[in-house]
Chain A
Amino acid sequence: MLGALIIVFREVLEAGLIVGIVMAATQGVAGRGRWIAIGIGGGIAGAAIVAAFAGVISEAFEGSGQELFNACVLAIAVVMLMWHNAWMARHGREIAAEMRNIGTAVSEGAKPLTALAVVVGLAVLREGSEVVLFLYGIVASGTSLGSVFAGGLLGIACGAAFSALTYFGLLAIPQRYIFAVTSWLIALLAAGMAAQSVQFLNNGGVLTAFDNTVWDTSWLLSEGSIVGRLLHTLIGYTERPTGMQLIVYIGTLVAMYLLMRVASAPQRRRAAAV
């Protein structure tokens, strides 16, 4: 039971962290609960489908299907996070202003919410499909079903609790900093995902340039430890990053920064004109 709990919790942790950050980033935006719930629900349904077709996906593209699939899922999430941050850079002030008027629906709030619902959905899909496969394996082997399922459910509950912890932890940040903090968190999240995505392309044999390991910090912090896993999700911590991963990581941060500046620029001019 403990084994199942740990494995499921580890998988749920990453998705839980992302849900927590997304919830904090959309604090006060009308209808966010519904969108995030749609994201989670869609992700779970997607996870079951991906798990059911795991064999087919693996065999696609001459055996590189799974790597390409993961790379695409991560890349889409990165684009959605960029879109969200750009949108927030443009409209964040309006939302902050409107949040003070309780009950005012944010007129364009649905836009970044769809993006973030997709991000949540993809995170749940990626991690969830592994949970489904793991639990399926237990069902197939037919050993001590009850206790393992109890462990699995407890693992999911722990992940959800962690998600709530992330959310309430972020909410403790004073209101006027929360957009800045969540924007940074999302930028780092996106950079980490982009670096992971490019590694999947490498594993799939699609992109092998600059695949030498640049440094090794496994002696300092193992990626397999809980802290290592958390940092892996949060900021893309990797024990042994490749040259390409570093290039993509920094490139994503720079692209995100430029995009946010461009997005917020017209508003500033408008404000200056008034």
Chain B
Amino acid sequence: MKTLLAACLASALLAPAIARADDFTLTIKDHKFTPSELKVAAGKRHTITVVNNDDTPEEFESNALKIEKVIVGKSKGVVRIGPLKAGSYPFVGEYHEDTAKGTIVAQ
């Protein structure tokens, strides 16, 4: 867990404020999203690969992003978002809404 956090911190520090690539990855582990905040460029389309490392299924859901997608345990799914206006767009894992939540920030 500590190494994971360190890796996240390191990548957050090393990554430019707005990632240039249009592909992002969100990881679900213990019903939590990592990273919980994702910065994307506004006005562009992006794909996010959601990797579910839990054994149980999760539903990636966001009314703001108009997405609902089931990702079964130990698998991954591709979610297409955008073009987004600048702003923050919350998302949740519907099956574990109290822990599985995050935000996509378009800027």
Contacts and interface: CB of A to CB of B under 8 A. Distances in A.
A54 B72 contact: yes
A138 B71 CA distance: 15
A148 B77 CA distance: 27
A82 B72 CA distance: 34
B72 A133 contact: yes
B65 to A, nearest CB: 9
A133 B59 contact: yes
B64 interface: yes
B11 interface: no
B80 interface: yes
B57 interface: yes
Interface residues of A, dominant DSSP: helix
A54 B66 contact: no
B69 A67 contact: yes
A137 B70 contact: no
Contacts, number: 77
Interface string B46-88: 0000000001111100011011011111010111100111000
Given A134-B57, A141-B55, A212-B83, A55 B75 contact: yes
Interface size class of B (residues with CB under 8 A): 20 to 34
Nearest to A216: B85
Interface residues of A, number: 37
A240 B83 CA distance: 12
Given A63-B77, A240-B64, A3 B98 contact: yes
A58 interface: yes
Given A137-B57, A141-B55, A203 B70 contact: no
Most buried by B among A212, A222, A228, A238: A212
A222 B97 CA distance: 16
A41 B9 CA distance: 50
A58 B98 contact: no
A95 to B, nearest CB: 37
20 contacts: A3-B98, A55-B72, A58-B69, A58-B72, A58-B77, A133-B57, A133-B70, A133-B72, A134-B59, A134-B94, A136-B56, A137-B58, A137-B95, A202-B80, A204-B80, A213-B85, A228-B63, A239-B63, A239-B64, A242-B66
Interface of B: 45, 55-59, 63-64, 66-67, 69-73, 75, 77-80, 83-85, 94-95, 97-98
